[in-house]
Amino acid sequence: MKIIIKKTYQELSKEAAEIIKEAILKKPSPVLGLATGSTPLGCYQELIRMHREEELDFSKVILDQAAASKLKGKYPAPTSGAGRG
C-alpha cells in the first residue's frame, strides 16, 4: 500500500482525484468502489471539475457499491478529522 501525505484537505482531494483520473485513462472501464460520507466530497468535487473542464469521461466507469464494502475492515479507519485542514 502506498501512503501519500498532503498538508491540506484540498491537496489531498486533488491527489485522490488525480489517482482516479489516471485509473480511468489507463483502463476506460474500471470498476470503482467509492466511499460515502463527507470525507471524500473534495475529491468528488475535483472529479466533477475534471469532467467539466478537462472532459474526463465517466461513461464507461462501473460503480460498484459492493467493491467499496469489501474494503471495510481491511484498512484502519483514520481518526476523526484526519486529512482535513
Segment 24-47 mean pLDDT: 91
Establish if 19 belongs to a structural domain: yes
Establish if 13 belongs to a structural domain: yes
42's grid cell: 473534495
Segment 15-37 mean pLDDT: 91
Kindly tell me if the per-residue pLDDT of 81 is higher than 60: no
- Say which residue, 75 or 64, is predicted with more confidence: 64
User: Cα–Cα distance between 45 and 38 in angstroms, integer?
Assistant: 11
Establish if 81 belongs to a structural domain: no
pLDDT of residue 82: 47
Question: Domain tally for the chain?
Answer: 1
pLDDT of residue 84: 44
Domain that holds residue 46: 9-71
Percent of residues, the chain, with pLDDT higher than 70: 75
